A and B are shown apart, each in its own frame.
Chain A
Amino acid sequence: MATLPPFQELLDEHGRDVLGFLVASVGPSDAEDLFQETLIAALRSYPGLTHARNLRSWLLTIAHNKAIDHHRAGSRRPLPSGSAEEVGGHRGEVDTGIEAASERGLWRIVGVLPAKQRSAVLLRFAGDMSYARIGELLDSSADAARRNVHEGLKKLRGELA
């Protein structure tokens, strides 16, 4: 049996990044729910983990899967694909305070990327994951993951210029 750190330690050390990852993936209004779902799922399976390596990447993998499920679940919530209206999504429901803050937030630029590129960029930068691991998560190869990150970054540089 692996010696696992107290779950609270994971929450304190990586919770903020999981939340950031989810905000960038689905927007602030849904991120909080998904944050809870991610951590509840993690806590549920935590004692069964066979090793304590890379717990941060483990959490972000769960967050990634929750974000994918979330996107799939709602035909009302199309995957943000680049248009200003879709990025950040469903404006009507968004609390105005959060909306104002998110307008200023740089994270929105990540939302202009196509889904795979955005996931690849987020996993790479929020998750510090290897291309091989990202490839696995995105059902493609390490090379494809590298290309997705590369293309994503190129586009972001354009947005930032």
Chain B
Amino acid sequence: MSTTTDEVIRRALRDAGGTVDFERAKRAFSARAEDEGLVEVAYASVDSPFGEMLVAATDRGVVKLALPSHAGSELKPDLVLTELAAAVSPRVLEAPSRLDPVRRELDAYFDGELKRFDLPVDWRLAKGFTDKVLHQVARIPYGRTLSYGEVAAKAGNPRAFRAAGTACGANPVPLIVPCHRVVQASGAPGNYGGGPEMKRALLELEGSLPAQLR
């Protein structure tokens, strides 16, 4: 078999794809997949003042929000999507329009205009004690904070403050489930998935950073 012919045919096939607008074809397919209810995990990249985030939703609600990269960790969309494919469904497709309501609320929140998210949450990535803790976290109002110990107590185990910290770290939908409102007993912000700077900035935005830390 002649290599030249092989090469020409390969090139011909690449050319063939080029006669139809691939991006348009892809968009048309994604729209149809949406219409037919075949997109079980829809995701989109969402901008924030702290950098790009990734948000994913199922028919039950927001299932995952991956915080922006920071000095301590990098947002790796491929890994996030692979995890969703394994844990929820491999029918994962980019569908920015389906995430529009989430994007709007997040924008308003970062602008200081929205104090309570009105978005359904799909809790399926939170298991066991994490799920218990995060349901308590979800009830902490804007501008208020609780310590890890207090959250642990509300989740039914006052001594499990370390486990409460771990649960917050494993929060699949930060911001919407506001684990940034869980702080150290001293009032210091403590750790955060988006980095300590982001947590501090969020508390400042909500007016709940203790005066001595401002």
Q: Which residues of A contact B (CB under 8 A)?
A: 3-9, 11, 15-17, 19-21, 23-24, 28, 31-32, 35-36, 39-40, 43-44, 46-47, 98, 101-102, 105-107, 109-110, 121-122, 125-126, 150, 153, 156-157, 160
Contact = CB atoms under 8 A, between A and B. Distances in A.
16 contacts: A4-B85, A8-B94, A17-B17, A20-B15, A21-B13, A21-B16, A24-B16, A28-B20, A32-B20, A36-B28, A39-B29, A43-B38, A46-B90, A47-B91, A106-B15, A110-B13
Contacts of B92: 6-8
Given A43-B33, A125-B6, A125-B10, A6 B15 contact: no
A131 to B, nearest CB: 12
Contacts, number: 135
Contacts of B15: 20, 105-107
Interface in B69-100: 78, 81-82, 84-86, 89-94
B138 interface: no
Interface string B19-45: 110101110110011001010010100
B93 A11 contact: yes
B10 to A, nearest CB: 6
Contact of A157 (B2, B19, B29): B2
Given A5-B85, A98-B19, A102-B19, A110 B29 contact: no
A147 B86 CA distance: 42
Interface of B: 1-2, 5-6, 8-20, 22, 24-26, 28-29, 32-33, 36, 38, 41, 43, 78, 81-82, 84-86, 89-94
Contact of A110 (B9, B24, B93): B9
